[in-house]
Amino acid sequence: MEKREELYAGKAKSVYLTDDPDRLILHYRNDTSAFDGEKIEQLDRKGAVNNKFSAFIMQKLEDAGVPTHHEGLLSDEESVVKKLDMFPIECVIRNITAGSLCKRLGVEEGMDLQTPIFEFFLKNDELHDPMINEYHIRAFGWADDEAVEKMKELTFRVNDTLTRLFADAGLLLVDYKLEFGRYQGEILLGDEFTPDGCRLWDAETRKKLDKDRFRQGLGGVVEAYEEVARRLGVDLS
Ligand code: 5GP
């Protein structure tokens, strides 16, 4: 497969066209950003760790019946994916209170929720990804009702699969964000699943092993990602 021009550069990944109109190459860079790009740093090895981490998780999700855009690893920092028509929406599930939920509702971090909470956000950095609901999605035509239902169903299936996968590795899946798109009429999971876009805590100590280490200046960011990857059995070589 031939790599062509850059289509888009996000905060942590660059997306390239290929000679196949239905395939893209994702390049996971070492750039790490928080607070809608206000804080940016380069962290050695992060691109490669996240590339291999996401490939591993996407494969586990495929095995569990969640269709994804992932096709395969191309190099340490690059993967080949199907080219999706993305919805401008983020789907979040929370199992334990943390992050923006605590700020919004004035609740303390670390409360086990009686049932998972599902939330939609609009993908828009300038507006700081505002929370939206299904009425906003319908009224502005960001996705049709069938797609909304499918995104919810798949996001919950991801929760069932990954809470178990992480629990077996002694980890709590606190919350995570997913993005979906359409490919030849089908809704597929796109983007990535890495510790950049989820919260993972050690089940015993509740030590943070995700991007909150970067957001909160706790240090040891990539080391924490590598520890999670090691516990899951991700091949980082
Ligand atoms: P919160 O709403 O608490 O900030 O985020 C909830 C979960 O979704 C966290 O795991 C967080 O990492 C993830 N998340 C939400 N928005 C974004 C985003 O724009 N980029 C990334 N990488 N993760 C996000």
199: three-class secondary structure by DSSP: strand
Alpha-carbon distances of 202 from 4, 119, 131, 168, rounded to whole Å: 41, 24, 28, 11
In this structure, are strands 23-28 and 78-82 parallel, antiparallel, or unpaired? antiparallel
Distance between Cα 230 and ligand 1 center (Å): 23
Alpha-carbon span 119 to 132, nearest angstrom: 8
Residue of minimum CA distance from atom 7 in ligand 1: 176
Q: Which two tokens mark 221?
A: 């960011």
Q: How many CB atoms lie within 10 A of CB 165?
A: 17
Nearest CA-CA partner of 110 in 30, 205, 2, 21: 205
Residue 29's pLDDT is 98
Q: Which two tokens mark 22?
A: 């239905």
Span 43-71, pLDDT tens digits: 999 999 999 999 999 999 999 999 999 99
Alpha-carbon span 47 to 214, nearest angstrom: 15
Residue with tokens 């971090």: 109
User: What number does the ligand 1 atom closest to the CA of 123 have?
Assistant: 19
Side-chain-facing half-sphere of 174: CA atoms under 13 Å: 25
- Please give the single-letter amino acid code of residue 194: T
Residue 36's pLDDT is 85
Q: What is the mean pLDDT of residues 26-53?
A: 96
Residue 221 sits at the vertex; the CA angle it makes with 155 and 171, to the nearest 5 degrees, is: 45
Span 75-84, pLDDT tens digits: 999 999 999 9
Residue of minimum CA distance from atom 23 in ligand 1: 197
Per-residue pLDDT for 189 more than 90? yes
Is residue 92 a contact partner of residue 156, using CB atoms and an 8 Å limit? no
Residue 37's pLDDT is 86
Residue of minimum CA distance from atom 22 in ligand 1: 197
Distance between Cα 116 and ligand 1 center (Å): 16
Residue of minimum CA distance from atom 2 in ligand 1: 100
Residue 71's pLDDT is 98
Residues with CB under 6 A from ligand 1: 90, 92, 98-101, 129, 175-177, 196-199, 211
Is residue 176 a contact partner of residue 93, using CB atoms and an 8 Å limit? yes
Q: Which helix (H) or strand (E) holds 187?
A: strand 186-189
Q: What percent of the chain has pLDDT above 70?
A: 100
Residue 229 sits at the vertex; the CA angle it makes with 8 and 71, to the nearest 5 degrees, is: 45
Q: What is the mean pLDDT of residues 187-202?
A: 98
172: three-class secondary structure by DSSP: strand
Mean pLDDT of the chain: 98
Per-residue pLDDT for 168 more than 90? yes
53: three-class secondary structure by DSSP: helix
